[in-house]
Structure 1
C-alpha cells in the first residue's frame, strides 16, 4: 500500500485504542499551538513493531508513537530513547522528524510515548500511488536518493552532535552476532536444521568493522517519506527506535536485505513485498557500488554482512510470530510470519554455504 505517512490511516485497531481524554489533556498541557476542538485519532496501519497514531485537532496534526500492547522484550520498543535521539539528531539531520513532547509517565496512556511533527508525503511499500507512472528513470532516481540518504546519515559527526552516549561502537558487530543468535533461540517455535550451520558460519566469519557511525538499524524504502510531487526527493526518515553508534556496513546490509530484486527466490520476495523489483530500480550490487563511491568505504566483506542481515530479518519475523503464537497480539497479519522466517533462514543458509552474495 502507498499513501501518506505509513500509508493511509485507518480507524484504530481493536485492542490498540488510546484514552482520548488523557491524550487531549496531555497535548494541551505540553505541546504548543494545539487549538481548541475535538481530538480525532486514527492509526497508521503499516509496521509490525511500535504503534503509530495520527492526532488531529482541526487543521493541526501530529504523530504519537508508543510501544505495542502486551509483554515486550527488555530494552525493546524504548520510546523515550527514540525521542531523545531525535531531539539531538534533527538539528544535524533534518530528515529526522522533530519531537514535540516526551512522556515517561505510564499512567497517562499505559505506556511511555512521544509526540512529533507530522511529515506528509508518500510511503512506497509494495505499489506506487494511483496515477503515478513508475518509469525506469524515476525508479533509478528513487534508488539513488535512497543511497544518498543513508550515506548522508553515515557521514554525520556523531560526537559533535552529542550522540556519543547512544551506543558502544567497540565490539559492536560481535555483540550483534551474539545477540541475534540468542534472540532467535528465545523466540523459536520449532527446530530447523539450517540454523546450527548458519549461526556457526556467522559466528566464525565476523570481519573487522570500519570506523563507527550513526546507524539507523532499520533503514529501508518504506521507512522514508517521499515528496508527492517528486518521488525522488526524500521528505523524512522514520522509525529511529533502534538507532545507535555502530558499523555502517551492518546498517547498509540491513537496507539491502529489504531491497528485493526480480530474480530473488520466492522466500525473499514474499517476506516484505516492495516496489524495488520494478524495472529501473538499482540492483543490490549497483546500490553498493554507489554507496562505496559516496562513502569511500571498502565493501569487500559485504557477503558476510548481507548473510547476517538476512538472519537478523528472520529473527525479527520469528519474534513477531512468537508473540502472535502466544496470543500476545491478535493482529492477523502476523499469522504466517513463522513461515516467512523459515524461508529467510533457508536463504541465509544458502548464502553462507555458497560463500558469495
Structure 2
C-alpha cells in the first residue's frame, strides 16, 4: 500500500467490506494514495483492471460541518446527469467499524491536473494558459447555471442568508483553529459583516473550485473532464465560488517570499480576465466582487490555519503544513487590502 505514514487504510476491515457491497471489486487489491491535496484523503483502489477512488476525511480534529462525506455522496449520486464533469459516486459507508469514519467510493477518471505550473502535456500549445483559464471559467459558469431542483439537489442547502452564515461559520472556525491573535482576520470579520451583498442567483456552490480540483483532457486545454472535492458543496451565492478561485490566483499584492503555498507560475491571464469571462458566460453583475474576494481571502486564511493546527497538534505528519500559519497570515493581509481599497 503506497500511502503516507499514519494515513494507511485498515485493509483487514475495508477489503472484505468492499467485496460485499460492490460487485465489481474482484481480484487482488492494490492501494495508492493521491498526495496532491491537503485536506480530505484520497486513494486509488485497483482490482485487476478496474480502478476506483476512495475518499475519507483527514485524521485529527475536524471543524464542525467540514469534510462531509455524506454531503459529497448526495451531490455525486445526483449531479453527474446534469453536470458531466462531476464523477459519479458508487457507495457511501457510514459504519465507523470499517475505517473509523464515513467514506465514499466513486468512479476513477483519467486526466491532467494543473497544480502550480503548466503540465508538460500542455507545453507548446498556442495560448495554452489563456485557454485553460477560459475552460475553468466556462465549467464554473456551467455549474452555477445548473437548476438545483431539476438536478434533485434542492435540499442541498439553505440559500437564504447563505453569505451571512458563511461569514459567521468561517469566523467561528478561525476561533477554533487559531494559535495566536491576528488583527487582519479580526478586521476582515468585522468589515465584511457590515455590508453583505444580496445574491443574484441560487446556485450549486462547489466550495473549492480551482485548477487542482479539476482534470483536463490531456493535450486539450479547452476541456475540463472532471471536477472533484464536493464535500463542501451547498446552495448559495455563486460569486462566493468565483471569489474562491480568484483567491488562489497570482496577485500583484502577494509577495511570493511571504507565501509558503505556491500559486500559479507562468504567463497566466490576470484576475480581470477571469472575471470578464465568467460574467460573459453567466450574465451576472460583478460590481460587488471586492467584498467576495475579501471574504474568500478570509476563508482561505482559516483553511490554512486549520491545516497548520492539525499538523501542530499531531493529526498529520504531512510536513507541507508546517508553513501554513504563515500562509494564513498572508491571505488575511491580502483580504484586508481588498476591502480597504473600496472603503
TM-score class, shorter-chain normalisation, is over 0.9
Whether the 8 Å contact between 2:122 and 2:219 is mirrored in structure 1 is no
Larger deviation, residues 145-154 vs 72-81? 72-81
Match of 1:7 in 2: none
TM-score when scaled to structure 1? 0.91
Q: Find the partner of 1:26 among 17, 30, 44.
A: 17
Q: Give the Å deviation of 1:72.
A: 1.5
TM-score when scaled to structure 2? 0.95
What is the number of equivalent residue pairs in this alignment?
A: 343
What are the Cα deviations for residues 90-129 of structure 1, in whole angstroms up to 9, with x where unaligned? 1111111011111111111111111111001111111233
Match of 1:316 in 2: 303
Task: State how 1:151-170 maps to structure 2 within 5 Å.
Answer: 151-170=141-160
Whether the 8 Å contact between 2:40 and 2:56 is mirrored in structure 1 is yes
What are the Cα deviations for residues 302-332 of structure 1, in whole angstroms up to 9, with x where unaligned? 0110011111100110111112222222221
Q: Find the partner of 1:270 among 253, 259, 262.
A: 259
**Is 1:284 matched with 2:274?**
no
Whether the 8 Å contact between 1:174 and 1:206 is mirrored in structure 2 is yes
Task: Give, in whole Å, the separation in 2 of the partners of 1:289 and 1:125.
Answer: 23
Task: Give, in whole Å, the separation in 1 of the partners of 2:218 and 2:179.
Answer: 42
Task: Give, in whole Å, the separation in 2 of the partners of 1:271 and 1:312.
Answer: 17
Q: Give the Å deviation of 1:353.
A: 1.7
Q: Give the Å deviation of 1:148.
A: 0.4
Task: Give, in whole Å, the separation in 1 of the partners of 2:158 and 2:339.
Answer: 28
Task: Give, in whole Å, the separation in 1 of the partners of 2:125 and 2:220.
Answer: 13
Whether the 8 Å contact between 1:215 and 1:246 is mirrored in structure 2 is yes
Whether the 8 Å contact between 1:268 and 1:343 is mirrored in structure 2 is no
Larger deviation, residues 181-190 vs 60-69? 181-190
**Is 1:347 matched with 2:334?**
yes
Task: Give, in whole Å, the separation in 2 of the partners of 1:166 and 1:250.
Answer: 16
Task: State how 1:226-237 maps to structure 2 within 5 Å.
Answer: 226-237=216-227
Match of 1:101 in 2: 91
Task: Give, in whole Å, the separation in 2 of the partners of 1:175 and 1:165.
Answer: 17
Q: Give the Å deviation of 1:55.
A: 0.5
Whether the 8 Å contact between 1:125 and 1:273 is mirrored in structure 2 is no
Match of 1:72 in 2: 62
Whether the 8 Å contact between 1:292 and 1:299 is mirrored in structure 2 is yes
Whether the 8 Å contact between 2:298 and 2:335 is mirrored in structure 1 is yes
Q: Find the partner of 2:26 among 6, 31, 35.
A: 35
SS in 2 for 1:211: coil
Q: Find the partner of 2:171 among 170, 181, 186.
A: 181
Larger deviation, residues 185-194 vs 41-50? 185-194
Larger deviation, residues 226-235 vs 83-92? 226-235
Q: Give the Å deviation of 1:67.
A: 0.9
Task: Give, in whole Å, the separation in 1 of the partners of 2:68 and 2:112.
Answer: 26
**Which structure 1 segments of 5+ residues have no match?**
1-9
**Is 1:17 matched with 2:8?**
yes
Task: Give, in whole Å, the separation in 1 of the partners of 2:47 and 2:186.
Answer: 53
What are the Cα deviations for residues 47-95 of structure 1, in whole angstroms up to 9, with x where unaligned? 1111000101221110000111222122221112211211011111111
CA RMSD of aligned residues (A): 1.8
Whether the 8 Å contact between 1:260 and 1:269 is mirrored in structure 2 is no
Q: Give the Å deviation of 1:24.
A: 2.0
SS in 2 for 1:328: coil
Task: Give, in whole Å, the separation in 2 of the partners of 1:330 and 1:197.
Answer: 32
Q: Give the Å deviation of 1:34.
A: 2.5
Match of 2:109 in 1: 119
Match of 2:230 in 1: 240
